[in-house]
A and B are shown apart, each in its own frame.
Chain A
Amino acid sequence: MAELTDKTIAGLREGIRGREFSAREVAEAYNAAVAAARGLNAYTVETPEDALAAAEAADSGKATGPLAGIPLGIKDLFATQGVATTAGSRILKGFQPPYESTVTANLRRAGAGMLGKLNMDEFAMGSSNETSAYGPVISPWRRKDGSNAALTPGGSSGGSAAAVAAGIAPGVTGTDTGGSIRQPAAFTGICGIKPTYGRCSRWGIVSFASSLDQAGPMAKTVRDCAILLGAMAGFDPKDSTSLDVPVPDWEAGLSSNLKGKRVGIPMEYRIDGVPDEINALWDKGIEWLKDAGATPVEISLPHTKYALPTYYIIAPAEASSNLARYDGVRYGLRVEGVKTLDDMYSATRAAGFGAEVKRRIMIGTYVLSAGFYDAYFTKAQRVRALIKQDFARAFEQCDVILTPTAPSAAFGIGEKLSDPLAMYLNDVFAVPASLAGLPAMSVPGGLDGQGLPLGLHLIGPELDEQIVLNAALAIEERAGFTARAEKWW
């Protein structure tokens, strides 16, 4: 029998139901793997007893849901009752939510257990997991040049991505504001989907940019993502932007037959400076989808180049407003020994926030300040409307869009940290779909010359997660991506 930690969620589910192995054996195997992989710095909190309790419920027949006995890793952005939730920030040190986020409550109701909380960029602001107060996550992948240089797993869901890639969680939650599920999935050779904005409740997820934040799953396979997303999604009256629409059975709807489907290839995504091997993989992806029965069509998304600057006005603006709540009064850190209330706020926020979070709060405060609001924030909202309109027009000519996920493979820890703009540019292909609220997914396509994973990116029309999953499945079946990070940790 293959190692339990090599199995997919679908495989674990089948094995537990068929009594080939017990849920307890699964939880024990993963708990041991988690404890043996601390060198990756993927988990900020380990909760082995939680995984065991869910396993007992599955083995005794008390839990019968679609994820009965499946242990999952949870990004530290999700509030988990009684378990430290810090969003990777010093300012939330010691915060133990008295409530559970809707998404994790949904997963628990489906029978899942929790292996622990996963490291992430502070408040999900970053593309390399280097801004975390817990220090960077180390990718399980290494370049094959023998240098053993530590690579980033991407971000902000870096702990989530590393955990799946290293076999220390069969599936995890992530969140995606401007690529934070898809870019790390691409960097670590796994799958990850951001659903349509509003599919997953934001209630109990620490807010970054509320008009963009969406939760989604990351796992080894497309099928596993479909299973997890089905359990995570659903209407929630506690989130005012939650969509009151039925949740389809995405797993049952999986089909890699794309006959009659048109795949849009946006010419604006052929940008300078992208390595040839990424463009070559994109071409291969087109061939794979043709082989699955789809017809490629060239499309135009004319405002693509303005997506990143639009994002870097809107996201910091919303963040500066959302993060105003960290004031040392209601939860988390408080710096004592200052005279006035105002000094307490300023000293607490100076000590509690890291450099990137401060930078974004400053940008956000500036673009929202009197005299600049219209020139920056309202302007960005107008351009965002044009970006959304670009996609609406494109989807009159095609059913799904194929692009690369990221303009590079995983980079080294420290390589981009000193240049914020270079870091921001890594999300160039991911951000437009975020601004338009569309479902989008990364699926592994192959390895680059250094032996590092590269991802392909599928974007669908709103509420059509199924076409995204199905096109990803067609790629998964043809790419034959079986490479795994060689264990060194």
Chain B
Amino acid sequence: MSVSPEQVRHIAKLARIAMSDEEIERLVPELNAIIGWVEQLGEVNTDGVEPLTAVIDQKLRLREDAVTAGNIRDEVLANAPDAEHGFFAVPKVIE
């Protein structure tokens, strides 16, 4: 499979990265080279092979449903580019 400029534009939109037409044009052959190369995995017979999700076999632990690091609102907001009234502030979403 190979990607077209329209597809690359769509991927950039999904990834929320603004891109100029020149950037899209430059990325098309780069992405196609990488995609073409990873497609050699198609040669491998993986019938009946379960996808690996945990590389070292272990069970996910459960913990008590309790607050462990609460009451640190100001620390959480300390690095925000814009914070108001104890909240993260963003450009207006609703007209």
Tally chain B residues at the interface, Cβ within 8 Å.
Answer: 53
Tell me which residues from 59 to 91 in chain B have a Cβ below 8 Å from any Cβ of chain A: 60-61, 63, 72, 75-76, 78-82, 88, 90-91
Alpha-carbon separation in the docked complex, A421 to B32 (Å): 11
Alpha-carbon separation in the docked complex, A361 to B19 (Å): 13
Q: A243, A310, A341, A384: which contacts B56 (Cβ < 8 A)?
A: A243
Interface size class of A (residues with CB under 8 A): 35 or more
5 contacts between A and B (CB under 8 A): A334-B82, A342-B16, A366-B35, A379-B42, A420-B34
Q: Are A359 and B52 in contact (CB-based, < 8 A)? A: no
Q: A303-B44, A329-B88, A363-B34 are in contact. Are A197 and B56 (CB under 8 A)?
A: yes
A481 adjacent to chain B (CB < 8 Å): no
Tell me which residues from 6 to 26 in chain B have a Cβ below 8 Å from any Cβ of chain A: 7-8, 11-19
Interface locus among A250-258, A347-355, A407-415, A442-450: A347-355
Alpha-carbon separation in the docked complex, A417 to B92 (Å): 40
- Residue numbers in B under 8 Å from A346 (CB-CB): 13, 16-18
Q: Closest approach, in angstroms, between the C-beta of A91 and any C-beta of chain B?
A: 11
**Residue from A240, A329, A358, A382 whose CB has the most chain B CB atoms within 10 Å:** A382
Q: Are A362 and B55 in contact (CB-based, < 8 A)? A: no
- Residue numbers in B under 8 Å from A372 (CB-CB): 1
Alpha-carbon separation in the docked complex, A358 to B17 (Å): 8
- Residue numbers in B under 8 Å from A330 (CB-CB): 79-80, 88
- Residue numbers in B under 8 Å from A382 (CB-CB): 44, 46, 49-52
Q: Is the interface of A mostly helix, strand, loop or mixed?
A: helix
A453 adjacent to chain B (CB < 8 Å): no
Q: Are B38 and A332 in contact (CB-based, < 8 A)? A: no
A381 adjacent to chain B (CB < 8 Å): yes
Alpha-carbon separation in the docked complex, A361 to B34 (Å): 13
Q: Closest approach, in angstroms, between the C-beta of B49 and any C-beta of chain A?
A: 4
Apart from A96-B79, A197-B55, A381-B51, what 4 extra A-B contacts exist at CB < 8 Å? A359-B34, A369-B11, A378-B51, A382-B50
Alpha-carbon separation in the docked complex, A347 to B16 (Å): 8
Q: Closest approach, in angstroms, between the C-beta of B84 and any C-beta of chain A?
A: 13
Q: A332, A344, A386: which contacts B46 (Cβ < 8 A)?
A: A386
Q: B13, B51, B53, B80: which contacts A331 (Cβ < 8 A)?
A: B80
Alpha-carbon separation in the docked complex, A98 to B16 (Å): 27
Alpha-carbon separation in the docked complex, A306 to B31 (Å): 18
Q: Are B55 and A388 in contact (CB-based, < 8 A)? A: yes
Closest Cβ neighbor of B93 among chain A residues: A341
Q: Are B16 and A240 in contact (CB-based, < 8 A)? A: no
Alpha-carbon separation in the docked complex, A98 to B17 (Å): 28
Q: Are A198 and B91 in contact (CB-based, < 8 A)? A: no
7 shortest interchain CB distances as A-B pairs: A381-B51, A437-B55, A334-B81, A331-B79, A382-B46, A350-B18, A385-B52
- Residue numbers in A under 8 Å from B14 (CB-CB): 365, 369
Tell me which residues from 217 to 245 in chain A have a Cβ below 8 Å from any Cβ of chain B: 237, 240-241, 243-244
Q: Closest approach, in angstroms, between the C-beta of B54 and any C-beta of chain A?
A: 8
Q: Are B17 and A312 in contact (CB-based, < 8 A)? A: no
Closest Cβ neighbor of A313 among chain B residues: B38
Q: Closest approach, in angstroms, between the C-beta of B18 and any C-beta of chain A?
A: 4
Alpha-carbon separation in the docked complex, A369 to B35 (Å): 14
Q: Closest approach, in angstroms, between the C-beta of B87 and any C-beta of chain A?
A: 11
